[in-house]
């Protein structure tokens, strides 16, 4: 029995044991997908009245995208992408904007709390119920990413917002309560812990080496055993200290802090990167449940990216009570499989599928 | 719509949103339990040959507990509790003890790793397949806790061990791959992150206020809205910043760093506390999956305790990518329900059940 390796994350103080004692093939992770479909999907076209008025609607008109907004009692139809407030928001705006401030309250030597000020929205990614990014038309994914950019720039500008998290729960195991293709956006009062730690480490790295920590990681991962796929603007790899089996990250190759720094070409290249990499995950593991989250901070030392976490293992008592993770799939073995699947996925994307 | 509250943990920098917009009753959390039972249980009596030789076996002889150890090719029968090496250990001892040292390796400006030195063991809690702590005989639970104490003192003494984690995965959703009542023990080279942060905060509190941070928390929680249950030696409550619905913690009332500091009476009182509180969880939520983990450090500023995490919600893209949690059940509402269930559970424990 050989000794397992513990690995520390590139930047933050997070350790994982790569426990490969029991050899695993991708098929060992394939699970029956549970498909829950309610009688009526509130996100499908025709049911717009079942949701609150949309904050943002993309509608195609004479080959151009027009951006609209629903009003009370009126819902736009024939939309391409639709962004609505979450019916059960975790974070809410101050009742009168500017009237409440986010103040950390401390009582007697004591417990700390603050108002959960912010926003909680849903991006309905397509009129087609099942147009998830691993199978979507590239043209549709471009609309979705543009909607992310629009909502990000609106939310980050609000005085009570310190961070905007864009994330996706795919599949019942990943916490998706509705199966229609959708993303969530949560704006929070401060930079959350995980991203804050990355940012702090990145700033330190910058002041020490006069380079972006993430750019330096990309440079190394591009040519290493964890590389998956790249195009002109994006690169995907399994991170050195992956805490999930088949976890992978997608980075813009050009140094940029937030998604609104992307050019139009980069936006198109991201659509392709997401389509190929999430398609590869589908292909390899039979459409597994996964979460992904964007990490982004408008700071010169930061470099935005997407982290994709397939739900193939359960964090149990050890992980939950220690903060140390056990991953039974080495990121190097995961990369071999994902790389091959991404190649096949890209080949299968004919010109017509790309632009359907 | 009222604003939700974000709460910070007592000691560490961990935030949770208590999101109670959608009112929940305990029954909203009750799920169908999936019971997986293999054809042959390797932990049931008669199948001892299916596991590696036991490191520790408790056998009753003339009313006394005798502690034995299996040998290659020989397995003790008629045991009360059995501790065996995990077949697929995440952490393993150095091949020749003392020959390898746990050294953090740094490569070129760069990625950090170390050997996953330690131990990984399983405590089979009873010869009875289903004798989980929420339904166990108190007399049996005392054996189990004594086995924890024995293994803890052996493992913490090893030169390559810096921490010992005792944890339990109950139910398929909680990551239990075998349904026979069992606990896992993992010894790691260093104090893991979560516990390390608690320790650091507790030391700081001690140097500032000349008191144990945890003792001060207990004092307040004993009389507050999160109190669940207590006896002479232990107290249970839902923590102020619970990150799981119905999460609760069990603390010894006397200041002590590790479980081997417990007296015999305290050990018995812990058995009752676990039986009543985990029994209350069963009763309230129809035997839900849960994890628990002991937190303990042999340090004057630390105060050991058990954290119980019911698996009633899914941490999704937001939690995973930000490190901020959303809990849809307020700890105060959870405590009302658990308190009542614990009362009923204790009443139902007749004298004969207690000592069967």
**CATH of residue A346:** 3.30.428.10
Total of domains in chain B: 1
- SS3 label, residue A25: coil
Residue whose C-alpha is closest to residue B279's, from B350, B338, B353, B232: B338
Residue B99 belongs to some domain of the structure: no
Q: Find how far residue A167's CA is from the centre of its chain.
A: 4
Q: Residue written as tokens 């239990």?
A: B176
How far A323 CA sits from the closest chain B CA (Å)?
5
Beta-sheet pairing, A290-295 with A163-170 = antiparallel
- Given the structure tokens 């005792």, which residue do they identify? B166
Residue B71 is given by DSSP the state B
Of B115, B192, B241, the CB nearest to A5: B115
Average model confidence (pLDDT) across chain B? 92
For residue B188, being part of any structural domain is answered with yes
Distance CA B116, CA B188 (A): 7
pLDDT tops 50 at residue A356 = no
Q: How far apart are CA B74 and CA B87, in angstroms?
A: 17
Separation of alpha carbons B318 and B7, rounded Å: 16
Q: Distance, in angstroms, between B63 CA and closest chain A CA?
A: 34
- Please tell me the distance in Å from B343's CA to the nearest CA on chain A: 27
Residue B136 forms part of a structural domain: yes
Alpha-carbon radius of gyration of chain A: 21
Q: What length is written for chain B?
A: 356
Residues facing A64 on adjacent strands: A61
Answer whether A15 sits within 8 Å of B193, measured CB to CB.
yes
Is B243 in CB contact (< 8 Å) with chain A?
no
Expressed in percent and rounded to 5, the helix, strand and coil fractions of chain B are 30, 25, 45
Are B231 and B272 within 8 A, CB to CB?
yes
Query: CB of B237 within 8 Å of any CB in chain A?
Result: no
Here the tokens at position B243 are 């990150």
Contact B307 A321 (CB under 8 A): yes
Task: Locate A44 and state its tokens.
Answer: 């499908």
By Cβ distance, the residue of A22, A192, A309 closest to B322 is A192
What does each C-alpha distance from A309 to A169, A229, A276 come to in angstroms? 10, 17, 16
Q: In this complex, do A14 and B193 lie within 8 Å of one another by their Cβ atoms?
A: yes
Q: Give the orientation angle of helix B264-285 with respect to helix B331-348, to 10 degrees.
A: 110
Fill in the DSSP letter of residue B72. Answer: T
* Residue A15 host element (H or E): strand A15-18
Three-state DSSP class for residue A172: helix
Measured at the CA of B47, the angle between CA B43 and CA B51, to 5 degrees, comes to: 65
Does any domain span residue B267?
A: yes
Chain B residue with minimum CA distance to A186:
B318
Nearest CA in chain A to B239: A111
Task: Using a CB–CB cutoff of 8 Å, tell me whether A14 touches chain B.
Answer: yes
Chain A hits for B295, CB-CB cut-off 8 Å, are 321
End-to-end CA distance of chain A: 52
Using alpha carbons, list the distances in angstroms from residue A125 to A43, A83, B298: 9, 9, 52
ipTM associated with this complex: 0.92
CA-based nearest residue in chain A for residue B4: A116
Average pLDDT over residues A42-56: 96
Q: Shortest CA distance to A303 belongs to which of A224, A206, A166? A: A206
Of the pLDDT bands very low, low, confident and very high (cuts 50, 70, 90), residue A179 is very high
- Decide if B326 and A90 are in contact by the 8 Å CB cutoff: yes
Q: With a cut of 50, say whether residue B325 has pLDDT above it.
A: yes
Tens of pLDDT, residue by residue over B36-81, are 666 799 999 999 999 999 999 999 999 899 999 999 889 999 999 9
Enumerate the residues of chain B whose CB falls inside 8 A of the CB of residue A116.
3-6, 17, 19
Over residues A58-72, mean pLDDT? 94
Distances (CA, A) of B265 to A60, A231, B233, B262, B268: 74, 66, 8, 8, 5
In this structure, how many other beta carbons lie within 10 angstroms of the beta carbon of residue B225? 15
Tell me how far apart the alpha carbons of residues A141 and A58 are, in angstroms, rounded to a whole number: 13
CB spacing of B17 vs A116 below 8 angstroms = yes
Answer yes or no: is pLDDT of A1 > 90.
no
Determine what percent of chain B is predicted with pLDDT higher than 70. Answer: 92
Structural domain of residue B86, as residue ranges?
A: 5-26+44-93+112-350
Distance CA B208, CA B212 (A): 10
| B60-119 residues touching A, CB cutoff 8 A | 88-92, 94-95, 100, 109, 111-117
Dist. CA B303–CA B249, nearest whole Å: 12
The interface residues of chain B toward chain A in range 206-225, judged by CB-CB distance below 8 A, are 209, 216
In a mutagenesis test of the A interface, which of B174, B322, B323, B331 is the best target, namely the one with the most A β-carbons within 10 Å?
B322
Averaged pLDDT for residues A269-287: 97
What is the pLDDT at residue B326?
Answer: 96
Domain membership of residue B20 (yes or no) is: yes
Residue B53 CA to its chain's centroid (Å): 25
Judge: A175–B316 Cβ closer than 8 Å, yes or no.
yes
Does residue B311 or residue A26 have the better pLDDT?
Answer: B311
Neighbours of A88 (CB within 10 A): 13
A18: three-class secondary structure by DSSP: strand
Q: What distance in Å separates the CA atoms of residue A21 and residue A13, rounded to the nearest whole number?
A: 25
Is the residue at A319 inside a domain?
Answer: yes
Other Cβ atoms less than 10 A from the Cβ of A326: the count is 21
DSSP single-letter state for residue B74: B
- Per-residue exposure over A273-307, b if at least 16 CB sit within 10 Å of its own CB, e if not: bbbbbbbbbbbbbebbbbbbbbbbbeeebbbbbbb
Q: Give residue B100's pLDDT band: very low, low, confident or very high (50, 70, 90).
A: low
Q: Is residue A134 part of a domain?
A: yes
Residue A138: count other Cβ atoms within 10 Å of its Cβ.
17
Which residue stretches of chain A are H helix? Answer: 138-156, 193-209, 213-222, 264-285, 317-322, 331-348, 351-355
Average pLDDT, chain A: 92
Give the per-residue pLDDT at B1: 61
B315/A5 Cβ within 8 A: no
Number of A–B residue contacts, CB under 8 Å: 210
pLDDT in tens, B223-232: 999 999 999 9
Coil vs helix vs strand at B305: strand
Closest residue in A to B318 (Cα–Cα): A167
Query: Any residues with CB less than 8 A from the CB of B135 and at least 6 apart, and which?
Result: B279, B282
> Is A39 inside a domain boundary?
no
pLDDT at B108: 42
A17, A293, A316 ranked by CB distance to B116: nearest: A17
């Amino acid at each position: 029995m050989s000794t397992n390796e513990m690995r520390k994350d590139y930047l933050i103080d997070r350790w994982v044991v790569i426990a490969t004692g029991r050899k695993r093939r991708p098929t060992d992770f394939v699970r029956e997908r549970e498909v829950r479909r309610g009688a009526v999907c509130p996100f499908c076209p025709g049911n717009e009245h079942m949701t609150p008025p949309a904050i943002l609607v993309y509608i195609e008109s004479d080959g151009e995208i027009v951006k609209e907004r629903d009003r009370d009692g009126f819902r736009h139809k024939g939309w391409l992408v639709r962004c609505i407030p979450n019916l059960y928001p975790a974070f809410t705006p101050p009742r009168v904007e500017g009237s409440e401030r986010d103040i950390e309250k401390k009582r007697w030597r004591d417990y700390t709390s603050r108002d959960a000020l912010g926003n909680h929205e849903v991006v309905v990614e397509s009129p087609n119920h099942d147009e998830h990014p691993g199978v979507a038309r590239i043209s549709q994914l471009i609309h979705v990413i543009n909607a992310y950019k629009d909502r990000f720039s609106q939310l980050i500008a609000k005085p009570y917002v310190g961070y905007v998290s864009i994330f996706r729960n795919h599949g019942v195991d990943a916490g998706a309560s509705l199966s229609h293709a959708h993303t969530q956006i949560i704006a929070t009062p401060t930079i959350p812990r995980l991203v804050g730690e990355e940012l702090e480490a990145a700033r330190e790295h910058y002041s020490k080496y006069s380079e972006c920590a993430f750019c330096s990681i990309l440079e190394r991962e591009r040519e290493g055993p964890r590389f998956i796929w790249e195009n002109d603007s994006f690169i995907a790899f399994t991170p050195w200290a992956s805490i999930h089996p088949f976890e992978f990250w997608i980075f813009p190759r050009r140094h940029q802090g937030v998604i609104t720094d992307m050019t139009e070409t980069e936006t198109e290249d991201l659509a392709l990167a997401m389509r190929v990499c999430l398609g590869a995950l589908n292909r390899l593991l039979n459409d597994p449940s996964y979460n992904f989250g964007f990490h982004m901070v408008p700071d010169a030392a930061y470099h935005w990216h997407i982290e994709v976490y397939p739900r193939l293992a359960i964090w149990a008592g050890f992980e939950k009570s220690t903060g140390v993770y056990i991953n039974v799939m080495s990121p190097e073995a995961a990369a071999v499989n994902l790389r091959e699947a991404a190649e096949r996925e890209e080949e299968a994307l004919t010109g017509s599928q790309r632009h359907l």
